């Protein structure tokens, strides 16, 4: 009889080349890591903090009892407070409301939707994709978001 899958394959612990595989693996293993962290803290009554930043720059965290409390314990001596904690956000709630209205009036088009919708957590990746378009199309070798001082 046919095997339905080859099952879990062994992989080398080195950077995954294929972007799609990397994305999938990142999601699965991030979930796995957080689960292990939660189990450790529950089983052993240990304080645990885990912070992960995706290749796309999204930050995920887990903490028991909280990330901050664990960090405070970790930090010894003086901690330099950030000199610049200006909030850097993209669309405001008002922007989203406005877009909803316009959409309801049948005024939207594909790229506006791409720009405005689903931007809660995904905007960074979308923006990077747009950046990649720019970079590829216009042959700007090392264009990055931070050149605009907005990130």
The two tokens of residue 128 are 């990077």
Nearest-approach distance from CB 114 to DNA, in angstroms = 13
Nearest-approach distance from CB 149 to DNA, in angstroms = 26
The binding site for DNA (CB under 7 A) comprises 3-11, 20-21, 23-25, 27-29, 31-33, 35-36, 39, 122, 125
- The option from its own copies, DNA, none interacting with 96 (CB < 5 to 8 A, set by class) reads none
Query: Is the bond preceding residue 60 a cis peptide, omega within 30 degrees?
Result: no
The two tokens of residue 141 are 């070798």
Contacts of 128 (CB under 8 A, 6+ apart): 56, 57, 145
151, 145 contact by CB (below 8 A): yes
- The option from its own copies, DNA, none interacting with 103 (CB < 5 to 8 A, set by class) reads none
- The option from its own copies, DNA, none interacting with 46 (CB < 5 to 8 A, set by class) reads its own copies
33, 27 contact by CB (below 8 A): no
User: By C-beta, is 10 or 87 nearer to DNA?
Assistant: 10
User: By C-beta, is 13 or 138 nearer to DNA?
Assistant: 13
- The option from DNA, its own copies, none interacting with 104 (CB < 5 to 8 A, set by class) reads none
Count Cβ atoms below 10 Å from residue 39 Cβ, excluding itself.
11
């Amino acid at each position: 009889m046919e095997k339905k899958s080859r099952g879990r394959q062994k992989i080398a612990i080195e950077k995954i080349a294929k972007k799609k595989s990397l994305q999938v693996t990142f999601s699965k293993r991030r979930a796995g890591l957080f689960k292990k962290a939660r189990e450790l803290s529950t089983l052993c009554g240990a304080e645990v903090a885990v912070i992960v930043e995706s290749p796309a720059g999204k930050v995920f965290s887990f903490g028991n009892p909280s990330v901050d409390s664990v960090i405070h314990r970790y930090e010894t001596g003086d901690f330099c407070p950030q000199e610049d904690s200006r909030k850097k956000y993209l669309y405001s709630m008002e922007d989203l409301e406005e877009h909803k209205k316009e959409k309801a009036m049948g005024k939207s088009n594909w790229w506006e939707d791409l720009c405005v919708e689903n931007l809660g957590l995904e905007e960074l990746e979308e923006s990077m994709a747009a950046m990649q378009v720019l970079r590829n199309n216009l042959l700007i070798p090392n264009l990055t978001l931070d050149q605009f001082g907005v990130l």
